């Protein structure tokens, strides 16, 4: 199979109607924080058990098209010795991999950060392909403050996102481009919309310069919302209105899928907002989800580190996946949560 055909097959599977992406790519420090909420030690064995139960959830592939893995998980096996990426393939789910190496301070840009990991990326991707990964994800973050994000941060992060995406496509992998405008702060709608539009405009301008094929990439952005410390109450309809207004201005129609991150929203809140976006007027892209905590939180609480809670945890994950799948077509109703 040629590289172009490989990308086309992968993107077709990832943007399948009525499905979304599960982000299970928490770094070691992040998964340790998640486990601490249920008083479970973050050991390799516990991480393997938790993630393997997620991936073995019966009928998960009905609502989930792809799963983003952490590097450690890509090399782990299920209890019966099946590699975890292969377990996903058996469910009709495409395995993916987080490939950035985390963020740090951006020199000469106080309050802004840059994501690292381009050095040696091509060689790492070749190894991930051999382990079964078919798409990748790279996250950059943008802080909203009095002077943030500055022009340097906007340009520098767009450059690394585009470089990463171009390298992925050269090897036949589909890149997920994730420019996350953080929800932290007390900014209002207008400020979030302004930053989001600026960030996305620069990202797509830079993708164009790097000759990234828009038809075989996925955008994973934030929704447009006020900061979490802003006193103004919000509705899902407002989130949809402001988000789509920005995206229509700067996201090319050639992009096949936009899979929103939850960005600190609660499980039901993330579903309600996605549903409202899909109930809005015509848009050229498939609008879906790529949630981490908003999909996993109920399952993690149900599991609690107990092996005999496996099936209850799987049911909790499957329920959230199904609710969000309904939201991708605007058919979610809050009354379905109690069924």
- How many other β-carbons are positioned within 10 Å of the β-carbon of residue 36? 11
Catalytic residue among 26, 49, 71, 178: 178
Q: Which residues contact 184 (CB under 8 A, 6 or more apart)?
A: 143, 144, 227, 228, 229, 264
What are 259's two structure tokens? 């899979």
Backbone angle region of 264, left / alpha / beta, with phi > 0 → left and psi within -120 to 50 → alpha: left
Catalytic residue among 137, 202, 220, 297: 220
User: Are the beta carbons of 246 and 196 closer than 8 angstroms?
Assistant: yes
Distance CA 288, CA 271 (A): 10
Please say if 180 is a catalytic residue.
Answer: no
Please say if 178 is a catalytic residue.
Answer: yes
Place of tokens 């991708």: 328
User: Are the beta carbons of 106 and 154 closer than 8 angstroms?
Assistant: no
Q: Which residues contact 331 (CB under 8 A, 6 or more apart)?
A: 275
Catalytic residues: 178, 220
């Amino acid at each position: 199979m040629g590289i172009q055909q490989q990308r086309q097959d992968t993107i077709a599977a990832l943007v399948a109607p009525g499905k979304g992406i599960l982000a299970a790519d928490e770094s070691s420090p992040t998964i340790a924080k998640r486990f601490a909420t249920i008083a479970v030690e973050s050991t390799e064995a516990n991480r393997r058990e938790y993630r393997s139960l997620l991936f073995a959830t019966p009928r998960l592939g009905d609502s989930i098209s792809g799963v983003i893995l952490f590097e450690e998980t890509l090399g782990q096996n299920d209890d019966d010795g099946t590699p975890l990426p292969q377990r996903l393939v058996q469910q009709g789910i495409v395995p993916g991999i987080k490939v950035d190496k985390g963020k740090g301070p951006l020199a000469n840009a106080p309050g802004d950060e840059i994501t690292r990991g381009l050095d040696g990326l091509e060689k790492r991707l070749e190894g991930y392909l051999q382990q079964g990964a078919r798409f990748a994800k790279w996250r950059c973050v943008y802080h909203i403050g009095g002077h943030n994000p500055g022009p340097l941060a906007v340009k520098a992060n767009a450059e690394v996102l585009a470089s990463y995406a171009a390298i992925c496509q050269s090897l036949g992998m589909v890149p997920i481009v994730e420019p996350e405008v953080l929800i932290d702060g007390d900014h209002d709608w207008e400020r979030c919309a302004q930053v989001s539009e600026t960030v996305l405009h620069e990202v797509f301008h830079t993708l164009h310069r790097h000759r990234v094929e828009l038809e075989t990439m996925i955008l994973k952005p934030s929704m447009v919302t006020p900061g979490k410390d802003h006193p103004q109450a919000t509705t899902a309809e407002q989130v949809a209105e402001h988000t789509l207004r920005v995206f229509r201005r700067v996201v090319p129609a050639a992009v096949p899928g936009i899979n929103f991150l939850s960005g600190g929203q609660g499980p039901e809140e993330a579903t309600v907002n996605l549903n409202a976006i899909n109930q809005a007027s015509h848009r050229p892209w498939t609008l879906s989800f790529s949630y981490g905590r908003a999909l996993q939180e109920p399952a993690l609480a149900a599991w609690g580190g107990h092996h005999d809670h496996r099936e209850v945890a799987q049911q909790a994950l499957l329920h959230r996946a199904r609710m969000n799948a309904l939201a991708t077509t605007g058919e979610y109703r809050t009354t379905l949560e109690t069924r």
